[in-house]
Amino acid sequence: MIALKNITVVLVNTAHPGNIGASARAMKNMGLNRLTLVQPKDFPSGVAVGRAATAVDILDSAIIVDSLEEAVANCGLVICASARPRKIPWPMLNPEEVAKKVTNEMDFTNIALVFGREDSGLSNEELQLGHFHVQIPAEEKYSSLNLAAAVLLICYEIRKATSKKNTDEKEKDNELWDQEFATVQQVEHFYQHLEQVLIDIKFHDPENPRQLMQRMRRLFGRIRLDVMELNILRGILTNIEHSMEDKKLR
């Protein structure tokens, strides 16, 4: 049994309970067991149980939440699976690169693998919560896989990479970092703080946002702030606020 316990599969707004069951089965086949469902349309469901076969335990322990933000709040690495490229391109990995990243980080941070709706995938706001996107290479005009098939393929790559890592520990040290990565929740608080200060200094007009905050998210998402860096940035923002107040008092 490979310990893939820090990895959560997140299914967003799934319409067909059969896909939830089949995804749970695929996860169990590959040694993953944490499932979070964001507003599933029909769950709990006998159809899901039927398709899960002996992976019912994963359905029983699935966590149900109201938003993707809530589902990934405590995660330091979030990877969103998307069948097609979006308006603002995001750092993109292929399944093998995802697997390598996940196996390098899974011992020291919570990781979420996020999958979208059967009909419309993930919204732009949801995709922007991810540090990376993954696209499974497929036929150009027929690139959308069944949800559970996409889950299986990504989990399979992670399993393969984990087995390889066990025999090849050298690779592990390359990507270790001296600080913990900030979680999604910590970074969300930073974005709120940043947006407020940008408004206060009149750099940002929420009536005419021009994708400023999306671009800030992509910038900081690409860097992947660690906790120390995040605290420094929050400190800078707080000092900007204080010096503005001081000026007002004078």
Stretch binding ligand SAH (CB under 6 A), from 26-34, 38-46, 135-143, 231-239: 135-143
CB of 83 to ligand SAH, least distance (A): 4
Query: Is 64 in contact with 104 (CB distance < 8 Å)?
Result: no
Q: Taking CB under 6 A as the rule, does residue 68 contact ligand SAH? A: no
Q: Taking CB under 6 A as the rule, does residue 150 contact ligand SAH? A: yes
Q: Taking CB under 6 A as the rule, does residue 190 contact ligand SAH? A: no
Q: How many residues bind ligand SAH (CB under 6 A)?
A: 20
Q: Taking CB under 6 A as the rule, does residue 38 contact ligand SAH? A: no
Stretch binding ligand SAH (CB under 6 A), from 34-42, 117-125, 216-224, 229-237: 117-125
Count Cα atoms within 13 angstroms, Cβ side, for 250.
6
Q: Which parts of 72-91 interact with ligand SAH (CB under 6 A)?
A: 81-84
Q: Taking CB under 6 A as the rule, does residue 248 contact ligand SAH? A: no
CB of 36 to ligand SAH, least distance (A): 14
Measure the CA–CA gap between 172 and 246, rounded to whole angstroms: 49
Q: Taking CB under 6 A as the rule, does residue 104 contact ligand SAH? A: no
Among 79, 136, 152, 225, binds ligand SAH (CB under 6 A): 136
Other Cβ atoms less than 10 A from the Cβ of 233: the count is: 17
Q: Taking CB under 6 A as the rule, does residue 97 contact ligand SAH? A: no
Q: Who contacts 175 (Cβ-Cβ below 8 Å, separation ≥6)? A: 101, 104, 105
Q: Taking CB under 6 A as the rule, does residue 138 contact ligand SAH? A: yes
For ligand SAH, the closer of residues 47 and 145 by Cβ is 145
CB of 176 to ligand SAH, least distance (A): 28
What residue ranges bind ligand SAH (CB under 6 A)?
A: 81-84, 115-116, 118-122, 134-136, 138, 143-145, 147, 150
